Amino acid sequence: MTIQTIATTPFAGQRPGTSGLRKKVTEFQQPGYLENFVEAIFLTLGALGEVQGRTLVLGGDGRYFNRQAIQTILRMAAAHGVGRVLVGRGGILSTPAVSCVIRKRAALGGIVLSASHNPGGPDGDFGIKYNIDNGGPAPEKITDAIYEHTKTLSSYRISDAGPVDLDSIGSIRLEGMEVEVIDSVADYAELMAGLFDFDAIRALFQRGFTMRFDGMHAVSGPYAKAIIEGMLGAPAGTVVNAEPLEDFGGHHPDPNPVNAAELIALMDGPDAPDFGAASDGDGDRNMIVGRKLAVSPSDSLAIIAANATVAPGYRDGIKGIARSMPTSQAADRVANALGVSCFETPTGWKYFGNLLDAGLATLCGEESYGTGSMHIREKDGVWAVLFWLNLIAATGKSVNEIVQEHWARFGRNYYSRHDYEAVDAGAANAMMEALRGKLESLAGQTLGDFRVQLADDFTYTDPVDNSVSSRQGVRIVMTDGSRIVLRLSGTGTEGATVRLYLERYEADPARHNLDTQQALAPLIAIAEQVSGLKARTGREQPSVVT
Ligand code: G1P
Ligand code: ZN
């Protein structure tokens, strides 16, 4: 075994976004492409004086190229003097599990291999992300430094050792480094057992409560199987599509009513179990479904917050809630009732890190099926499902009863997101520019039945470090709290994706069971009138409505 220095030419466009570097598998397969980015990570950590002898966590969602990338990263880690790498067995670690293991083992950080909910397989996407010692995604100053290195480096260091056996638990030496293959689930399962009332949930299943968890052939399957079937005693077969596949079985591993159509059909039909749930490619997203009812993620956050104390890990109450700006204001109403703060952050989980670290928020969530808490620094799909199980076990109520009672108490925030995917980037940018140009004149205007109270491009000032993030999405807020939000996706890999978010508040319980799109129709019309979305993108309909 020797360590080699291999000459390379920097690759253009290796700028990590809010979720790390996400590209087509074919791009990652170019000689030196992955190596360039990994070298840039080690150069960045090295410049901080942090690599030698330290521990890193490494794993991914099992998608195509996962194993190969892990072998490369291990050989490069060894060449850079890393002391020890903890790798999930078979290369498998969900994103929340990486965050958990980093924190539990006091590691320097971790490398997550995933493109989250983006399709996998040879023609799909791959991704790589660096997480720091708090278990959360690296802050911008680190991702910027990584990017700068990718532009200037001229070589990378790698050991020429052969592949490591990733399938047997135990320790192996690679150059001077220890590779420890760990159980992918154990640390995470132990954390969950400390947060939730597993006895109560076990008793719930013993009473005949039925559930289906759809792993979508992605990474959360093994976690759900080990915890829900193994530790909580749900009958075998409760977790379906539990085996992570390199191409996710050809499906889109994004839990929403469109992609998890099979689960929704089951929950709408005569054989529906009591509870349905699904998670995404890397296990950080969740969808909660009752009989004939998919719970909106914004409502789920609010309901978890309103009932937090049923779970032992939150028995003492919550310090605050944080939600991304486009997420509905349902959580704000709960925060208000509890007398705690509700923070409004830009889209992307990384903005929650400072609030959680500073103890300002306990729970956080995004409308994009992401919910989580201070227990780790990523959103957490299985955690959200376990919270709901704990809530059902503690109250003896169905998902429907819990949701209806929540609306009756706090009012209902009708909510929907319309995505226009893979549209022409120039046209999408031009639309956003035109909108920004109009904002000042919109304030105070009457639009249909609404009056505009505020129209701006959201700017966030982090209350902990005072950093400012501007141009985070155009919002048009009406005097009754209804909102229209428009922004461009930062995670798409094809053209541009326009996201239109719509929200309308309804206090009257007699009007809590309208069709969501109908309830939002007046706002949809105003959004079109103000943005000219259809003409600009050449699309008559959104690609996905959630
Ligand atoms: C999307 C979601 C956002 C989430 C991100 C990463 O980002 O909208 O809430 O944090 O994926 O999972 P977007 O494509 O909208 O930039
Ligand atoms: Zn994800």
- What is the arithmetic mean of pLDDT over 164-176? 97
Same domain membership, residue 226 and residue 168: no
Find all residues with CB under 8 Å of 264, minimum gap 6, and list them: 257, 276, 289, 294
Least confidently predicted of 247-251, 290-294, 447-451, 493-497? 493-497
Predicted pLDDT at 54 = 96
The 10 Å CB-count burial string (b at 16+, else e) for 291-307 is bebbbbbbbbbbbbbbb
In this structure, what are the phi and psi dihedrals at residue 69, rounded to the nearest 5 degrees? Answer: -60, -40
Same domain membership, residue 264 and residue 372: yes
Ligand of minimum distance to the alpha carbon of 95? 2
pLDDT in tens, 196-219: 999 999 999 999 999 999 999 999
CATH number, domain of 494, equals 3.30.310.50
Q: Give the Å distance between the CA of 117 and the centre of ligand 2.
A: 5
Find all residues with CB under 8 Å of 418, minimum gap 6, and list them: 499, 500, 501, 502, 524, 542, 544, 545
Predicted pLDDT at 350 = 86
Cβ atoms 128, 111 nearer than 8 A: yes
User: Taking 80 as the threshold, does the pLDDT of residue 268 lie above it?
Assistant: yes
Predicted pLDDT at 117 = 85
Q: Mutual orientation of helices 330-338 and 297-306 as an angle, nearest 10°? A: 10
Measured CA to CA in angstroms, residue 38 lies from 49, 139, 497 at distances of 16, 17, 28
User: Taking 80 as the threshold, does the pLDDT of residue 138 lie above it?
Assistant: yes
Q: Which residues line ligand 1 (CB under 6 A)?
A: 19, 116, 324, 347-349, 366, 368, 370, 489-492, 499
Same domain membership, residue 416 and residue 403: no
- What is the arithmetic mean of pLDDT over 13-26? 89
467 labelled catalytic? no
User: Taking 80 as the threshold, does the pLDDT of residue 462 lie above it?
Assistant: yes
Please report, in angstroms and rounded to a whole number, the separation of the first and last CA atoms in the chain: 52
Measured CA to CA in angstroms, residue 6 lies from 34, 155, 158, 192, 452 at distances of 13, 5, 8, 43, 59
Same domain membership, residue 252 and residue 172: no
Cβ atoms 283, 59 nearer than 8 A: no
Q: Could you give the 3-state DSSP secondary structure of residue 26?
A: helix
In this structure, what are the phi and psi dihedrals at residue 131, rounded to the nearest 5 degrees? Answer: -110, 145
Distance of alpha carbon 311 from alpha carbon 390, whole angstroms: 6
Q: End of a domain among 410, 444, 472?
A: 410
Which residue's alpha carbon is nearest to atom 11 within ligand 1? 491
Cβ atoms 184, 30 nearer than 8 A: no
Find all residues with CB under 8 Å of 7, minimum gap 6, and list them: 154, 155
pLDDT band at 365 (very low <50, low <70, confident <90, very high): very high
Same domain membership, residue 425 and residue 398: no
Cβ atoms 334, 411 nearer than 8 A: no
Same domain membership, residue 213 and residue 106: no
pLDDT in tens, 367-399: 999 999 999 999 999 999 999 999 999 999 999
Same domain membership, residue 203 and residue 167: no
Q: Give the Å distance between the CA of 492 and the centre of ligand 2.
A: 13
Same domain membership, residue 424 and residue 386: no
DSSP type of residue 507 = -
* Atom number of ligand 1 nearest to Cα 284: 12
Measured CA to CA in angstroms, residue 185 lies from 188, 286, 359, 518 at distances of 5, 18, 27, 43
The two structure tokens encoding residue 70: 């892990």
Among the listed residues 296, 294, 299, the one whose alpha carbon sits nearest the alpha carbon of residue 410? 299
Q: Give the Å distance between the CA of 465 and the centre of ligand 2.
A: 26
Q: Which residues, in sequence order, are bridge partners of residue 506? A: 412
Q: Give the Å distance between the CA of 205 and the centre of ligand 1.
A: 34
Same domain membership, residue 227 and residue 87: no
Range of the domain at 79: 3-184
Q: End of a domain among 156, 184, 212?
A: 184
Among the listed residues 78, 91, 86, the one whose alpha carbon sits nearest the alpha carbon of residue 1? 78
Q: End of a domain among 184, 217, 234?
A: 184
pLDDT band at 140 (very low <50, low <70, confident <90, very high): confident
pLDDT in tens, 431-449: 999 999 999 999 999 999 9
Predicted pLDDT at 5 = 95
Predicted pLDDT at 186 = 98
CATH number, domain of 179, equals 3.40.120.10
Predicted pLDDT at 17 = 80
pLDDT in tens, 501-545: 999 999 999 999 999 999 999 999 999 999 999 999 999 999 999
* Atom number of ligand 1 nearest to Cα 19: 6
- What is the arithmetic mean of pLDDT over 81-110? 98
Cβ atoms 472, 457 nearer than 8 A: yes
User: Taking 80 as the threshold, does the pLDDT of residue 492 lie above it?
Assistant: no
The two structure tokens encoding residue 452: 């505009």
Same domain membership, residue 201 and residue 137: no
Same domain membership, residue 312 and residue 348: yes
CA dihedral 293, 280, 417, 22 (to 10 degrees): 180
User: Taking 90 as the threshold, does the pLDDT of residue 252 lie above it?
Assistant: no
Neighbours of 528 (CB within 10 A): 14
Cβ atoms 372, 383 nearer than 8 A: yes
- What is the arithmetic mean of pLDDT over 472-478? 97
The 10 Å CB-count burial string (b at 16+, else e) for 205-214 is beeebebbbb
pLDDT in tens, 315-361: 999 999 999 999 999 999 999 999 999 999 999 988 999 999 999 99
Ligand of minimum distance to the alpha carbon of 499? 1
Q: What's the total number of domains in the chain?
A: 3
Catalytic residue among 94, 116, 159, 296: 116
Mean pLDDT, all residues of the chain: 96
pLDDT band at 99 (very low <50, low <70, confident <90, very high): very high
Residue with token string 């399957």: 221
| Percent of the chain residues past pLDDT 70, beyond the cut | 100
Same domain membership, residue 498 and residue 456: yes
pLDDT band at 244 (very low <50, low <70, confident <90, very high): very high
User: Taking 90 as the threshold, does the pLDDT of residue 259 lie above it?
Assistant: no
